[in-house]
Amino acid sequence: MNFGLPNSRRDEAIRRLQIPGTLPSKVQDMLLDGLLLQLRSMSVGFRVDEWLRQSHPELRQLQAESVRQQLQENAKALSPQIRQSMPKQVVNGNTAMNGAYALFWSRVLGEAQQWLPYKALGYENQAGALLKALDMVPDEPGQDCALVDQWALTLGLAGTYEWSPYHA
């Protein structure tokens, strides 16, 4: 399935996410598309990460190193300068998803410090709800859209995209 919006609905989604209309349209599109790409890829990515971890224990050390690098990269978005320069709805969605990633991996790796900045910013409920959705939605590829939809509902992003059939 493709994931996106026809042009007629993009403006509505941009307004709903409070992306300023004064920004150039390419920047508006970049912010919307970036958030939706994160929504689609991160939610399903948890499942891939867990499958890899369970199926290939010999790769756990490499995976942990990769995760730590990603956590450091994600933490850069917590800087006040970045948070203040981006639309609040976009920042909140991004931070909640990054917080879920940090919470999940801080538990797996036994490194609570990875999660603490997100907790301090008040993302405990949203991050926890995103992880709960991973448990609620069946872990099957045919349920990926349902997982993304549940995350979107949790983040207030429902209606900012629509599914369409994939054509190769």
Q: Region 105-125: what's the mean pLDDT?
A: 96
pLDDT for 3:
60
pLDDT for 165:
78
The tens digit of pLDDT for each residue in 146-160 reads: 999 999 999 999 988
The tens digit of pLDDT for each residue in 75-88 reads: 999 999 999 999 99
Identify which of 45, 98, 36, 40 has the alpha carbon closest to the alpha carbon of residue 72.
Answer: 98
Comparing 3 with 111, the larger pLDDT belongs to 111
Return the percentage of the chain with pLDDT > 70, whole number: 95
Torsions phi, psi of 70, nearest 5?
-65, -40
- pTM for the predicted model, two decimal places: 0.92
Number of other CB atoms surrounding residue 149 within 10 Å: 19
Number of structural domains (the chain) is 1
Distance of CA 116 to CAs 40, 106, 107, 130, Å? 25, 9, 12, 17
75: containing domain: 2-164
In angstroms, the CA 79 to CA 58 distance is 35
